[in-house]
Amino acid sequence: MSLDLPKVYPITDTYLSGLSHAEQVARLIEGGASLIQLRDKHAAPREFYREAASALKVARDHHARLIINDRVDIALALNADGVHLGQTDIPAEAARRLLGKEAIIGFSTHNIQQARLATTFPVDYLAFGPVFQTATKANPDPSTGQTALREVRAIKGPLPLVAIGGISLSNALEVLKAGADSVAVIAALLGDPTKIAENLSKMLAAIAAQANEASTD
């Protein structure tokens, strides 16, 4: 069955927010998140494991799903809802063998060739970006722009498409219009840790208002 993605897919960042993964998850859930990715490029595996275990408790208590970035071992050990893989992580086939058919596996792509290839992988959604400039990722690929996003939309087949990179309240609607099923967001949600829930609920409300307008056109 194809994955039902929420319109906004927040990703945690302890550097940007200054908060533990569990606290970020709590605030994101308060703002309306139902699917969250834990991303940590700095913590040692043991620390990330421990933090992810706490975050997973919070998510489970609120029936939100949690995806672990990069680390199939941590996703497997904690029985998290899935893993998000990049171009240099273990192959999606291997992750699928380890995690089983119920797990959510996402895969990052940065150009049309990678996206085309990814449609043959056993994954549940494709991420594409950075669509816009981002300061959050170290050494990001060149920004793709929305034309490339539209191209990916046209070739991706039935896989849900997540746009990522520089997405904020001011451009989320046009990115969804360009063909993304969901937007993955870090800095625009977490930059001010006191406004995480507020930022997310504002973004979700703007998207819902737009959808409502479109349906009554």
Which residues contribute to the site for ligand TZP (CB under 6 A)? Answer: 129-130, 134, 136-137, 140, 164-167, 185-188
Q: Which stretch binds Mg ion (CB under 5 A): 68-76, 128-136, 146-154, 156-164?
A: 68-76
CA distance 110 to 46: 29
Tell me phi and psi for residue 56, to 5 degrees: -65, -35
Instruction: Please say which residue, 82 or 129, places its beta carbon nearer to ligand TZP.
Output: 129
Instruction: Please say which residue, 134 or 210, places its beta carbon nearer to ligand TZP.
Output: 134
The one-letter amino acid at 195: K
The answer to whether residue 91 forms part of the interface with Mg ion (CB under 5 A) is no
Tokens of 71: 């680390």
CA distance 152 to 155: 5
16 to 55: interface string for Mg ion, x by CB under 5 A? ----------------------------------------
The count of residues interacting with Mg ion (CB under 5 A) is 2
Element (H, E) at 37: strand 35-38
Q: Which residues pair with 125 in a beta bridge?
A: 106
Q: Is 183 exposed, middle or buried (0-12, 13-18, 19+ CB in 10 A)?
A: buried
Instruction: Please say which residue, 86 or 212, places its beta carbon nearer to Mg ion.
Output: 86
Element (H, E) at 93: helix 92-99
The answer to whether residue 70 forms part of the interface with Mg ion (CB under 5 A) is yes
Q: What is the maximum alpha-carbon separation in the chain?
A: 52
Instruction: Please say which residue, 27 or 96, places its beta carbon nearer to Mg ion.
Output: 96
Question: Whole-number minimum distance, CB 89 to Mg ion, in Å?
Answer: 5
137, interface contact from ligand TZP, Mg ion, none, CB < 5-8 Å by kind? ligand TZP
Contacts to Mg ion by CB under 5 A? 70, 86
